[in-house]
């Protein structure tokens, strides 16, 4: 196998997100199976962003692991929050417009939960928080971004790997977490399970 070539691993990714698949590929990882969990992702009353991300990552892993006994299952959830307010995934133009107006000129948190469910039934979760600050967006900038459609299905109504990158004046923490999967923590989980070589960020045997 050529150095840097992606390798298929005995891993189920509990997500259909093309961003998460692309991030795993940066570590030369291709999951054998893609099987997204179909869950109600609305927060429960009083739930903090950290608790919400952890709960959903665990729940997604458990649901998919029940369908794939004997496999490693990797699940993740990404939450965008202003203070304690959890912003929804933007499913409509109105959703995205409200989120963008709220984020304009403010700092917000992107909380990522990543969970690995092992064949033995052991579950390990890591939660990562990234601080992001947007510049103040005028109405023309907001309208132009909404017209791109990049916001569709995105937590907080924006994609940092797209045109919204120009809105970010400050970022502290994991960039990949904002995209959809914290790679440092994900690599640590996979190394601990033997799926990655110790000391490397690529698949064992690559």
* pLDDT tens, residue by residue, 147-194: 999 999 999 999 999 999 999 999 999 999 999 999 999 999 999 999
Using an 8 Å Cβ cutoff, are 187 and 169 in contact? no
Give the per-residue pLDDT at 206: 36
Does 173 fall in a domain?
Answer: yes
Element (H, E) at 30: strand 29-34
Number of structural domains in the chain: 1
CA atoms within 13 A on the CB side of 49: 22
Give the per-residue pLDDT at 160: 97
Does 64 fall in a domain?
Answer: yes
Give 6's pLDDT tier (boundaries 50, 70, 90). Answer: confident
Task: Using a pLDDT cut of 90, give the percent of the chain over it.
Answer: 88
State the CATH number of the domain containing residue 146. Answer: 3.90.950.10
- The residues carrying an active-site annotation are 77
Does 200 fall in a domain?
Answer: no
Does 35 fall in a domain?
Answer: yes
Task: Using a pLDDT cut of 70, give the percent of the chain over it.
Answer: 93
Encoded tokens for 167: 């809105």
Give 39's pLDDT tier (boundaries 50, 70, 90). Answer: very high
| Geometric angle at alpha carbon 119, from 117 and 120, rounded to 5° | 95
pLDDT (tens digit per residue) in 56-108? 999 999 999 999 999 999 999 999 999 889 998 999 999 999 999 999 999 99
Does 206 fall in a domain?
Answer: no
Does 108 fall in a domain?
Answer: yes
Query: Average pLDDT of the chain?
Result: 92
Give 198's pLDDT tier (boundaries 50, 70, 90). Answer: low
Give 120's pLDDT tier (boundaries 50, 70, 90). Answer: very high
Give the per-residue pLDDT at 164: 97
Does 198 fall in a domain?
Answer: no
Residue range of the domain that includes 129 = 7-192
């Amino acid at each position: 196998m050529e150095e840097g070539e992606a390798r298929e691993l005995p891993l189920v990714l509990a997500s259909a997100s093309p961003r998460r698949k692309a991030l795993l590929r940066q570590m030369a990882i291709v999951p054998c199976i893609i099987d997204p969990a179909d869950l109600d992702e609305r927060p429960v009353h009083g739930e903090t962003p950290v608790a919400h991300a952890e709960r959903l990552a665990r729940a997604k892993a458990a649901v998919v692991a029940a369908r794939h006994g004997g496999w490693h299952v990797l699940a993740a959830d990404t939450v965008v929050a202003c203070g304690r307010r959890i912003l929804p995934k933007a499913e409509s133009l109105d959703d995205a417009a409200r989120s963008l107006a709220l984020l304009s000129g403010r700092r917000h948190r992107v909380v990522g939960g990543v969970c690995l469910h092992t064949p033995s039934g052991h579950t390990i979760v890591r939660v990562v928080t990234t601080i992001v600050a947007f510049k103040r967006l005028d109405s023309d900038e907001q309208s132009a971004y909404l017209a791109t459609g990049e916001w569709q299905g995105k937590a907080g109504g924006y994609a940092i790997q797209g045109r919204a990158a120009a809105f970010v004046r400050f970022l502290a923490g994991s960039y990949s977490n904002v995209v959809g999967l914290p790679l440092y923590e994900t690599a640590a989980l996979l190394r601990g399970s033997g799926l990655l070589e110790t000391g490397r960020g690529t698949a064992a045997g690559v």
